[in-house]
Amino acid sequence: MELPSLFALFTICSLCLAAPQPIAANSAAAVPVQPETIYTFNSSFIPENTLLRNNNQLLVTCTTCPYIFQLDPTQGQDQTPKLVHTFNGYGSVTGIVQLQKDVFAVSVGNYTISGGPVNGTWNIWLLDLRSYVPPSYDPSKVTAVLMGSATQATIIDGLAIVNASRGLIAGTDFQQGTIWLTDIALNRTTALITSADLGPNAGGATGPLGRAGVNGLKFRDSRLYFTTTSSGNYGYVPVNTQTGQATGGITTLFDYSFRLDDFNFAASGNVYFTTFDSSPNGGIYRRASGTPAGQNGTTEVIAEYGTNSVIANDTGSGCNVIFSAALRNQVLRARLEGAC
Ligand SMILES: *[C@@H]1O[C@H](CO)[C@@H](O)[C@H](O)[C@H]1NC(C)=O
Ligand SMILES: *[C@@H]1O[C@H](CO)[C@@H](O)[C@H](O)[C@H]1NC(C)=O
Ligand SMILES: *[C@@H]1O[C@H](CO)[C@@H](O)[C@H](O)[C@H]1NC(C)=O
Ligand SMILES: *[C@@H]1O[C@H](CO)[C@@H](O)[C@H](O)[C@H]1NC(C)=O
Ligand SMILES: *[C@@H]1O[C@H](CO)[C@@H](O)[C@H](O)[C@H]1NC(C)=O
Ligand SMILES: *[C@@H]1O[C@H](CO)[C@@H](O)[C@H](O)[C@H]1NC(C)=O
Ligand SMILES: *[C@@H]1O[C@H](CO)[C@@H](O)[C@H](O)[C@H]1NC(C)=O
């Protein structure tokens, strides 16, 4: 087994990694943009996060099943998605981030659309795909290790790497209004911050999706940026990059009038949000780079894609972004940053 050496990667700093790069992109351009469908899963498979591997194969997590699949984004509906890993004993896989080439942190637990998350089932796992390579893509070569058992969490959804070499990963708990911090070297998960502003009742929205608090999470410039769903807030928490501890409280940048899901930064600094709402508010929204706190800075870029889930990653061409439309069971691609 490779598990000990995988674990050791996060205790030995000579193996330190560069921080993940933001989406590469060029200048802003005309909107709206029509997305292109890459793959439609069956109705039992609700895709959550998508992440491009360095070899440009796309990993897709499943909110309603314990699987990670791999898709080739250059192939269409005719391909057969490859089953990368099954998290036996669990029912849901949500967040995924890359800690180093082909080593990922993944959030795994139990969640159902009707019942919501099951308290105490959620953890971060390290998934090692360094031997999951072509031509065989042999799933028996994949290893997964439970990290920093988070028995206090009700769910761990969106993930962000605070310090890859130090093995610090933050994850959102939309039920408790907590951002958890998993320390891989110490194999421990603790609360980074808990706030009513991050909790399910902020904003007073109802319904299973509307009652979700803190959802998307991205780390940038010593800040953990977040979105909340019920209240539609976009803001940040300042964080010490060596310890992962919060160095201040929450700053709200804007309180949107729609329910935000996940988001990501483009290299331009523009922020793209997915939303839960139907048209006219459903779709992907842009918050222009440099928009000051208190202003919405927002343009609707893709209309009529309500119930979107997660903006995921750059396809490698520099301006396409892949995302999933959860309730359509789809993974899609859209050119959000114009000509390139
Ligand atoms: C849907 O896809 C998943 C993943 O491939 C599979 O496990 C499941 O059996 C499929 N369900 C149906 C109803 O086809
Ligand atoms: C996109 O995926 C690549 C490869 O997995 C990773 O290196 C990069 O940081 C990801 N970019 C974003 C914006 O998540
Ligand atoms: C989590 O889900 C799995 C798969 O459905 C099930 O076997 C397991 O009992 C569940 N665990 C809890 C604590 O609900
Ligand atoms: C981390 O701790 C959990 C128990 O909390 C344990 O099951 C797991 O094996 C540990 N992981 C490693 C890599 O030691
Ligand atoms: C989940 O479990 C933790 C730890 O036992 C507890 O503190 C928390 O109140 C529980 N949350 C819910 C929503 O039941
Ligand atoms: C990440 O953690 C390592 C080890 O503690 C530290 O040397 C490094 O400065 C940290 N990175 C940043 C950006 O703070
Ligand atoms: C942003 O603010 C402008 C000016 O108040 C308003 O016209 C626009 O509808 C707002 N857009 C969003 C998405 O909130």
How far does residue 201's CA lie from ligand 5's centre (Å)? 16
Within-domain flag for 202: yes
Give the closest ligand to the alpha carbon of residue 218: 2
- Straight-line distance from the first to the last Cα atom of the chain, in angstroms, rounded to the nearest whole number: 44
Distance 72 CA to ligand 2 centre (A): 16
Rounded distance between C-alpha atoms, residue 157 and residue 107, angstroms:
6
Name the residue at shortest CA distance from atom 11 of ligand 1: 44
Full domain range(s) for residue 83: 25-335
Alpha-carbon torsion (307, 311, 314, 317), positive or negative = positive
Q: What is the pLDDT of residues 209-253, one digit of tens each?
A: 557 899 999 999 999 999 998 889 999 999 999 999 999 999 999
At residue 8, the pLDDT reads 45
CA distance 311 to 306: 13
Cα separation, 95 vs 51, whole angstroms: 10
Is ligand 6 within 6 A of the CB of residue 167? no
Residue 6 lies in a domain: no
Whether residue 318 lies inside any domain: the answer is: yes
In single-letter form, the type of residue at position 75 comes to Q
Q: Which of 49, 96, 314 to mutate to test the pocket of ligand 2 (most atoms within 8 A of CB)?
A: 314
Nearest CA residue ID for atom 9, ligand 2: 20
- Average pLDDT of the chain is 83
Answer yes or no: is 2 within a domain: no
To test ligand 7's pocket by mutation, which of 285, 298, 301, 302 has the most ligand atoms within 8 angstroms of CB? Answer: 298
Strand pairing class (143-147; 159-163): unpaired
3-state DSSP call for residue 106? Answer: strand
Distance 135 CA to ligand 7 centre (A): 50
Block residue for tokens 């981030």 = 97
- Of residues 19 and 227, more confidence is placed in 227
187 lines ligand 4 (CB under 6 A): yes
**Distance (Å) from CA 144 to ligand 4 centroid:** 11
For the ranges 254-263, 277-286, 314-323, the lowest mean pLDDT is seen at 314-323
CA distance 286 to 199: 24
Instruction: Kindly tell me if the per-residue pLDDT of 72 is higher than 60.
Output: yes
Predicted confidence at residue 295, as pLDDT, reads 96
Compute the average pLDDT of residues 98-127: 94
Please report the pLDDT score of residue 315 as a whole number.
44
In a domain, residue 20? The reply is no
Residue 9 lies in a domain: no
**Tokens describing residue 46:** 């609700």
Closest alpha carbon to 226 in 208, 250, 243: 250
Please report, for the domain that includes residue 315, its CATH number. 2.120.10.30
Identify which of 18-22, 204-208, 266-270 has the greatest average pLDDT: 266-270
| Ligand 3 atom with least separation from CA of 120 | 13
Q: Can you tell me the mean pLDDT for 55-81?
A: 95
Write down the pLDDT at residue 309.
Answer: 52
**Which pLDDT score is estimated for 84?**
98
- 139 near 178, Cβ under 8 Å? no
pLDDT above 90: residue 13: no
Q: Is the CB of 13 under 6 A from ligand 6?
A: yes
Helix (H) or strand (E) holding 113: none
Condensed to tens digits (0 to 9), the pLDDT of residues 88-108 reads: 999 999 999 999 999 999 999
- From the CA of 173, the nearest ligand is 5
Range 280-285 average pLDDT: 72
**Cβ of residue 281 lying under 6 Å from some atom of ligand 7:** no
Token pair for 155: 């769910």
Q: Separation of 41 CA from ligand 1 center, angstroms?
A: 8
Count of domains for the chain: 1
Q: Does ligand 1 have an atom closer than 6 angstroms to the CB of 45?
A: yes
29, pLDDT greater than 90: no
pLDDT at residue number 10: 41
Is 30 a domain residue?
Answer: yes
300 burial via Cβ count (<10 Å: 0-12, 13-18, 19+): middle
Tell me which residue of 139, 274, 125, 235 sits closest to 187, measured CA to CA: 125
- Ligand 1 centroid–CA 38 distance in Å is 18
Cα-to-centroid distance, 42 and ligand 1 (Å): 6
* Mean pLDDT for the stretch of residues 160-173: 97
Residue 277 covered by a domain: yes
The beta-carbon contacts of 289-295 under 8 Å, at least 24 apart in sequence, are 291/253, 291/254, 293/251, 293/252, 293/253, 293/254, 294/253, 294/254, 295/254
The total number of residues written for the chain in this structure: 340
- Regarding the beta carbon of 165 and ligand 6, being less than 6 Å apart is answered yes
Confidence at residue 23, expressed as pLDDT on a 0 to 100 scale: 32
Give the pLDDT of residue 203: 60
Cα–Cα nearest to 14, from 179, 226, 165, 125? 165
Does any ligand 5 atom lie closer than 6 A to the CB of residue 154? yes
Given a contact cutoff of 8 angstroms between Cβ atoms, the answer to whether 179 and 172 are in contact is yes
Q: State the pLDDT at residue 321.
A: 74
Query: Would the pLDDT of 2 be above 50?
Result: no
298-333 tens-digit pLDDT: 877 665 554 455 555 444 445 667 778 777 888 888
Q: Give the residue from 123, 60, 33 showing the smallest Cα distance to 305.
A: 33
3-state secondary structure of 3: helix
Spacing, Cα 45 to ligand 1 middle (Å): 7
